[in-house]
Amino acid sequence: MEFLVETRSVKKRKFIEAILPSMIKQLKLENSKKVLLVRVANECDGQGMTMPLNGLDAYVVVVKPGWFVDMGVTLAHEMVHVRQMAKGILKVENGVNYWRGKKYTKKTKYLDMPWEQDAFSRQELIFRRAVE
């Protein structure tokens, strides 16, 4: 998987570029033909978000600027979503989420969404392994 990191901070760019290859390897995405853009910016409601760019085989991950550990854990969380989408486990079509073929509406609480449970359960370990 090819990636590009976009941020004004040289230190934050170098940090993300240092840990991202390990995350990609841990999630078995190294042979993926998908392209990833990681942006450090205040463009999301929470700490991070992942968006597929349909038709381009690409994903945009936005991580809010902050402490390096917080950014790293958020990046690990969002990379789990990248894997879910790249493997077809999570699909987003016309603003509707499908997890393993099952449709989830906006009525589903955030922490009850299976893709979020998966990401939260894996984020710490992925991040810790990336910084070892």
HEC string for 23-65: HHHHCCCCCCCCEEEEEECCCCCCCEEEEEECCCCEEEEEECC
Where do we find the tokens 């699909």?
Answer: 91
* pTM (two decimals): 0.93
Q: Which residues contact 93 (CB under 8 A, 6 or more apart)?
A: none
Contact 74, 47 (CB under 8 A): yes
Would you state the pLDDT for residue 105? 87
pLDDT tens, the chain, 132 aa long: 999 999 999 999 999 999 999 999 999 999 999 999 999 999 888 899 999 987 888 999 999 999 999 999 999 999 999 999 999 999 988 888 999 999 998 889 999 999 999 999 999 999 999 999
Would you state the pLDDT for residue 17? 97
Of 45, 47, 50, 38, nearest to 65 by C-alpha is 47
Contact 37, 61 (CB under 8 A): yes
Would you state the pLDDT for residue 81? 97
Of 26, 24, 85, 27, nearest to 53 by C-alpha is 85
Token representation of residue 44: 């999301």
Of 109, 78, 113, nearest to 100 by C-alpha is 113
